[in-house]
Structure 1
Amino acid sequence: MSTQMKFVIGGVAAFLVLSILGWWTVALIVLGVMAVPAVLYMMLDPSQRRRVRAQTRKRLGS
């Protein structure tokens, strides 16, 4: 299956979910999905945050 076809199927699925659940419900789900990693990152100690940032920089260079 091509990448373009995957995007088309994802778009159709997103449209169906949006039409069934309603705009506000979908917006809350999207905000929740974006907020969970941010909250988890903020719960880390400063030393743990440094370790996560160092790993991210390592991956960018490879």
Structure 2
Amino acid sequence: MSTRTKFVIGGVAVGLLTLWILPWWFSALIILGVIGTPVVAYLMLDPSQRRRVRAQGRKRIGS
């Protein structure tokens, strides 16, 4: 099992746990924050920086 898969499984487990323990609206804010933070960070990059990030992702796929 890859490290990324372990993180995804852990994230889903934590999300379900917060939905069970905390009020639904607070859990929804946490989940939206976890999803929205990387999206906003990516959108704040310059076009040249986005190209570099995409190129690194493609380079890793072949290695």
* TM-score under structure 1 length normalisation: 0.70
Pairwise mapping of residues 36-47 of structure 1 onto structure 2 (< 5 A)?
A: 36-47=37-48
Structure 2, unpaired ranges of 5+: 1-8
Structure with the bigger RCO (C-alpha within 8 Å, sep 6+) is 2
Q: Which residue of 1 aligns with 2:50?
A: 49
Identical aligned pairs, as a percentage? 62
Q: CA RMSD in A?
A: 2.0
Aligned residue pairs, count: 53
Q: Which has the larger radius of gyration?
A: 1
Structure 1, unpaired ranges of 5+: 1-6
* Letter of the structure 2 residue corresponding to residue 48 of structure 1: Q
Distance 1:61 1:40, change over 3 A: same
* TM-score under structure 2 length normalisation: 0.69
Q: Which residue of 2 aligns with 1:19?
A: 20
